Amino acid sequence: MTPNLPDVVAEISALFEAYEQALIDKNVDILDATFWDSPHTIRYALGENGYGFSEIHAHRVARPPGPGIKEKRIRLEILTLGRDLATVNLEFKVRGRDVIGRQSQSWVRFPDLGWKVVSAHVSTMEPRPW
């Protein structure tokens, strides 16, 4: 499993950026297409826990459009392992608060579906004391 093959990193980067734009635009079709349509998919967010694709979709529909909580990116880390597994981790400044946000996604390339997020998490933490 070779880490960070450039073409695979480029694929995941493009998918992640499309997902981030779909959050702003509230493009539910793209948001849904990003996640694996399975009862095993999990998305923990700040105000909800989505267990299974149906719950994740319901939260997407209820969420208002707009820039969301991300004021600016601090650090984006993408790790791909081979051609079919990737993680994306983003640290960001939360809009209007002295809080750091963290977002993580686990991506799997399915033979018949392509790349899908199978697990995701968003949380906040107090700023670093150092």
- C-alpha–C-alpha distance, residues 121 and 128, integer Å: 20
- Show pLDDT as tens, one digit a residue, over the chain (130 residues): 899 999 999 999 999 999 999 999 999 999 999 999 999 999 999 889 999 999 999 999 998 888 889 999 999 999 999 999 999 999 999 999 999 999 999 999 999 999 999 999 999 998 767 6
Domains observed in the chain: 6-125 (3.10.450.50)
- C-alpha–C-alpha distance, residues 86 and 1, integer Å: 11
Compute the C-alpha angle 11/16/130, nearest 5°: 120
**Can you tell me which residue has the tokens 């640290």?**
91
DSSP category for residue 35: B
